[in-house]
Amino acid sequence: MAEKARRPGGRSARVRTAVHQAVTELAAERGYGAFTIGEVAARAQVADTSIYRRWGTLEALTADVALDWLTASSPIPNTGSLRDDLRAYATGVTRDVSGPAGLAVLRLVIALSSAGDAGVAARDRFIAERGGQLQQMLDRAVSRGEEVPSTLDIVDHVLAPLYVRVLFGLGPLTPAYAESLVDRLLKGTGPGLESGS
């Protein structure tokens, strides 16, 4: 009898995917802190011991979910110009945070800030990953001889307005709006809050 071909990643990858999906769904439904590892295990149809063995704590699991979402989404563009890279990146972030998991993941990251030392460390890893993505684009731009803003400028003038609109349900979040934030940043002015943006 021929041996069954094994799928790449196997059971471990399937468990991780199911657990991540369960965390995202529960966070969207209830918010962080309103569910337990046992409930994640039940939703994912895995043993809670598997979750404890792999992640240890809800904070570590949540951080893994947030980082996985961040690295799986928002690919780093390489268009040949900082303006086009940032516009493509901002448009990608807009799509990602507007998607079904985006709001839940942002809320998880915010909640980690009040989840003790482990939560703060997890939040900091998320922020560092996002900063690393931005720095890649800036480093390439510098090597091309372009003037660049700081990563904090990009956070303040591009990412923060996108996140605030999603978190508070303010106005439509469109690619045109995201691109306008980049254009304003690169012109040296901060984004306004025009209702039609």
**Considering its fold, how many domains does the chain have in total?**
1
What are the residues whose beta carbons fall under 8 Å from the beta carbon of 76, sequence distance 6 or more?
A: 85, 89, 133, 136, 137
- Please check whether residue 40 lies inside any domain of the structure: no
- Please check whether residue 171 lies inside any domain of the structure: yes
- Please check whether residue 94 lies inside any domain of the structure: yes
- Please check whether residue 79 lies inside any domain of the structure: yes
- Please check whether residue 137 lies inside any domain of the structure: yes
Helices (H) and strands (E) in the chain, counts: 10, 0
CATH of the domain at 181: 1.10.357.10
Condensed to tens digits (0 to 9), the pLDDT of residues 11-57 reads 788 999 999 999 988 888 887 778 899 999 999 999 999 999 999 88
* Structural domain containing residue 130: 58-186
pLDDT score at 44:
95
- Please check whether residue 44 lies inside any domain of the structure: no
